[in-house]
Amino acid sequence: MSDEEWKLFRQEMTDVLPIAKSERSDSREKKLATPGEKARRQAAVTVAKKDTNTLSTDFVTMLDPLDVLSFRREGLQHGVFRKLKQGRYEIDARLDLHRMTVQQARREVYAFVRDSCQYDLRTVLILHGKGRRNLENPALLKSYAAKWLQELEEVIAYHSAQKRDGGVGAVYVMLKKSERLKRENRERHGLRANREDK
């Protein structure tokens, strides 16, 4: 700006007054959150704190829709596993994963197994479907279900169901006995042994 231009500018600005501080809007000032925004933020923090789900949605080995699922932890008796495979245990609860996304199924499987253990259920059925309708990823939920069940320490065995219970579109799941059930079992067998000794 030349000296001449500067003088002209100052002359034009002589009667302009600065804005009083109280009338200024400070763009750096934090906007107050609405009650809805506060509630959403609180809910997001609460959900993040409460999510103890350890099931992974990382890479999964894709199974064929007709594959038979079978898993047994070390120490489970062969006879017990054979009865599970044959569907000879009473089913205490069922979970149907049909039409769920992977994320929904992940939440449901985790909660279902935890709840089943809390109520001392031993044998449950999970209907994962065969996934034949999903042309891109057939057997997607089946593949994840097989992976997730092995990740849960409460699961001691699983096997694809008999045809009457859903066949290869469902899986029998055997859960660990709770301490209470173990104690009752020991007491029952101890009493039986005592009666036979007398």
Quote the CA–CA distance of 20 and 173 in Å, as a whole number.
73
pLDDT digits (tens, 9 = 90+) for 100-118: 999 999 999 999 999 999 9
What's the sign of the alpha-carbon dihedral 145, 150, 156, 160?
A: positive
Measured distance CA(134)–CA(146) in Å, rounded: 18
CA-CA distance, 44 to 197, in Å (whole number)?
62
For residue 26, what pLDDT band results from cuts at 50, 70 and 90?
A: low
Domains and CATH numbers, the chain: 70-183 (3.30.1370.110)
Cβ atoms of 123 and 174 within 8 Å: the answer is yes
Question: Strand (E) positions, the chain?
Answer: 70-72, 93-96, 123-127, 155-160, 170-175
Amino acid 20: pLDDT: 67
58-99 pLDDT, tens digit per residue, is 889 999 999 999 999 999 999 999 999 999 999 999 999 999
Residue 173 has pLDDT above 50, yes or no: yes
Q: Please tell me the predicted confidence (pLDDT) of residue 45.
A: 67
**Count of C-beta atoms within a 10 Å radius of residue 139:** 23
**Residue of higher predicted confidence among 112 and 187:** 112
Q: What is the pLDDT of residue 198?
A: 44
Q: Where do we find the tokens 């994962």?
A: 128
Does the model's pTM come out above 0.75? no
